[in-house]
Amino acid sequence: MDYVTLNNGVKMPMEGFGVFQVPDPVQCEQAVLDAIDTGYRLIDTAAAYMNEQAVGAAIAKCGVPREELFITTKLWVQDAGYEAAKKALQTSLDNLGLDYLDLYLIHQPVGDYIGAWRAMEEAYREGKLRAIGVCNFNAARLLDFCESVEMRPAVNQVEIHPFFHQKEAMKIMSDYGVTPEAWGPFAEGKFDIFTNPVLTEIGRSHGKTAAQVALRWNIQRGVVVIPKTVHKDRMEQNFDIWDFSLTQDEMAKIDILDMGHSNIVDHNNPEFIKMLHNLKVHA
């Protein structure tokens, strides 16, 4: 396992385990236990995933010292704002059964995220958060944010996969010292990614699958990945990406796959933004 050093000196695993769309508490707890047993140390959840308590139960049972784990959760749109964010953070800590988080992220660039950021900066100084960051900030919004806040985000978690390279956002992240982290590194199964001929051919030359090639491609671009599966054999396969490297020619072949836009979410769609505001994760 490789690590990246964030802009505040904290070391973060380059590969983690995500629990998006695993709301069942029994299944989620077992999946996290299996992931930790496989070797994952970065676990990524969110208030909006409605499974923080299950993740916390797995953390308590896993037998791995807390300091060896890197736990991430996220602030939902409903709790954007200074006072609301302070309360939401404590709720997440309580749900997870933790005294601190390794990374706390603003889940969406919607609502009073500047007010929320001020609360997160305070919690960071108090030692409740080892690092703070954002999600889904495009290039322009991230640049504006970095120019507007006292503490620049350590991480920007965005959609990045072989069919959407986020080149403009990646440049801004590099310019401002923000580490990119990929949600949906398998494009949520779209575009026949697991049988894509380019990825499959590259994988064949290394004795790897198309999925492993997709993860390795992101890693070599300096992008943290958080693949999700509830099947332990696939967890093990996704984790088996540290014994090979893609050549420059292979990276160039994958570069051609970039469509330059998302086919999963559109943060410029008013209906999508309205949906984010209307989605409540608590009363």
pLDDT of residue 156: 98
- The answer to whether residue 111 sits within a structural domain is yes
pLDDT for the residue numbered 277? 97
pLDDT of residue 140: 97
Q: What is the pLDDT along the chain (283 residues), one digit of tens a residue?
A: 899 999 999 999 999 999 999 999 999 999 999 999 999 999 999 999 999 999 999 999 999 999 999 999 999 999 999 999 999 999 999 999 999 999 999 999 999 999 999 999 999 999 999 999 999 999 999 999 999 999 999 999 999 999 999 999 999 999 999 999 999 999 999 999 999 999 999 999 999 999 999 999 999 999 999 999 999 999 999 999 999 999 999 999 999 999 999 999 999 999 999 999 999 999 8
Strand locations in the chain (E): 3-5, 11-13, 16-18, 42-44, 70-75, 103-106, 132-135, 155-159, 179-183, 224-225
In a domain, residue 152? The reply is yes
Strands of the sheet containing 224-225, edge to edge, are 16-18, 42-44, 70-75, 103-106, 132-135, 155-159, 179-183, 224-225
Asked whether residue 267 is domain-assigned, the answer is yes
pLDDT at 58: 98
Q: Which of 187, 213, 186, 217 is nearest to 199 (CA)?
A: 213
CATH of the domain at 197: 3.20.20.100
The answer to whether 124 is a known catalytic residue is: no
8-state DSSP, 100 = -
* Residue labelled with tokens 């305070």: 122
Q: What pLDDT does 12 receive? A: 98
What CA–CA distance (Å, rounded) separates 248 from 212?
A: 17
Element (H, E) at 143: helix 139-148
Q: Sort 134 into a burial class: Cβ within 10 Å, 0-12 / 13-18 / 19+.
A: buried
Residue 267 confidence (pLDDT): 94
* Domain assignment of residue 136, yes or no: yes
Boundaries of domain holding 60: 3-278
Domain count, the chain: 1
Please indicate, yes or no, if residue 283 is contained in any of the structural domains.
no
Q: Which of 49, 104, 113, 124 is catalytic?
A: 49
Q: Please give the pLDDT value at position 266.
A: 94
